[in-house]
Amino acid sequence: ETGVTQSPTHLIKTRGQQVTLRCSSQSGHNTVSWYQQALGQGPQFIFQYYREEENGRGNFPPRFSGLQFPNYSSELNVNALELDDSALYLCASSRQTGGFYGYTFGSGTRLTVV
């Protein structure tokens, strides 16, 4: 069984640009969550997708948006990048919502905004 894969692994963007990060969920998982982890902080919840619908959102502005596809892979889009968006972006998948089945994390995309 394949785990959660994220692409790209590293990315450098300029302030004001847009970025799309991708996540392939683990086989059999239909729920994907996205987290932002700034240096020295714990991961912060951005949003969750369950069966292609947004199923919860954290305290992030609308320029953070997402999609989930029929194969349960997901994208995170960030518009109008700011310097503070520099962080490790983590994707986690699980078999169902509720967290009782456990979350598997991808290795993350490290985004640097200059």
Smallest distance from another protein to CB 34, Å? 10
Residues 53-92 that bind another protein (CB under 8 A): 55-56, 58, 88, 90, 92
Smallest distance from another protein to CB 109, Å? 11
Instruction: Rule CB under 8 A: say whether 93 interacts with another protein.
Output: no
Q: Are 87 and 38 in contact (CB under 8 A)?
A: yes
Give CA torsion, residues 11, 37, 35, 79, to 10 deg.
Answer: -50
Q: Are 72 and 29 in contact (CB under 8 A)?
A: yes
Instruction: Rule CB under 8 A: say whether 42 interacts with another protein.
Output: yes
Q: Count Cβ atoms below 10 Å from residue 100 Cβ, excluding itself.
A: 8
Q: Which residues bind another protein (CB under 8 A)?
A: 33, 35, 40-45, 48, 55-56, 58, 88, 90, 92, 97-100, 102-103, 105-108, 110
